[in-house]
Amino acid sequence: MAGLVAGSTLVNRLLAATRYAAEPEDPEVPNEEVARILERIADGRPIRRGHVSLDMPVVAEDGRVVPIMIETDLPMTPERYVKAVHLIVDHNPDAHLAAFHLTPAIGSASISTRIKMKRTTWVRALVETSDGEVWADYSRVRVSLNGCG
């Protein structure tokens, strides 16, 4: 019985791993700079889709001012909280656009701001929890007017 339970846990884990690996909407890593940024944040941990919502317009008329909202449903308790939110814009000159370091006193990981975008690209929101998980959401934004010069 114990073996069966352990076995099913393993199967679940494998299924979970497969599900993350096969996530069809995960954008490809476009270049070495973005690969380095993702590696620096994840530090060997899997980047999994979930628990994060990246809300951006599908089309940004003016790349100089693109609204962005990042939210998570992860807890903000002293035992477990979102310690950082990273914003990466793949084809911007400075792809790692911002990092927001948070503490439980913030109450919820929910950030809004306005950013510049050079051209049509994927935007990535990565969230690091205090217990070492990395969660992400992605959004592809079409940019009409270059906002980076």
Partner 1 sequence: MTDTIGEARIKVPDRISRGDLITVNSIVSHPMDTGFFRNADGDPIPAYFIKQVVVTYAGNEVARFEWTSGISRDPVVSFTLKAEKEGPLTMLWTDSKGAKFKQSVNISFASA
| Residues near partner 1, by CB under 8 A | 64-66, 76, 89, 92-94, 96-108, 110-116, 147-149
64's CB contacts (< 8 A; 6+ apart) are 116, 145, 147
Report the alpha-carbon distance of residue 129 to residue 110 in Å, rounded: 14
**19 φ, ψ to 5°?**
-60, -45
**Which of 76/127 has CB closer to partner 1?**
76
| Rg, C-alpha atoms of the chain | 17
Residue 135 Cβ vs partner 1, minimum distance, rounded to whole Å: 18
**Which of 48/87 has CB closer to partner 1?**
87
72's CB contacts (< 8 A; 6+ apart) are 51, 52, 53, 82, 85, 108, 109, 110, 127, 135
**Bridge partners of 139?**
123
Residue 8 Cβ vs partner 1, minimum distance, rounded to whole Å: 39
Report the alpha-carbon distance of residue 64 to residue 147 in Å, rounded: 4
**Which of 50/104 has CB closer to partner 1?**
104
Residue 106 Cβ vs partner 1, minimum distance, rounded to whole Å: 6
Residue 96 Cβ vs partner 1, minimum distance, rounded to whole Å: 7
Residue 146 Cβ vs partner 1, minimum distance, rounded to whole Å: 10
**Which of 52/89 has CB closer to partner 1?**
89
**Which of 24/149 has CB closer to partner 1?**
149
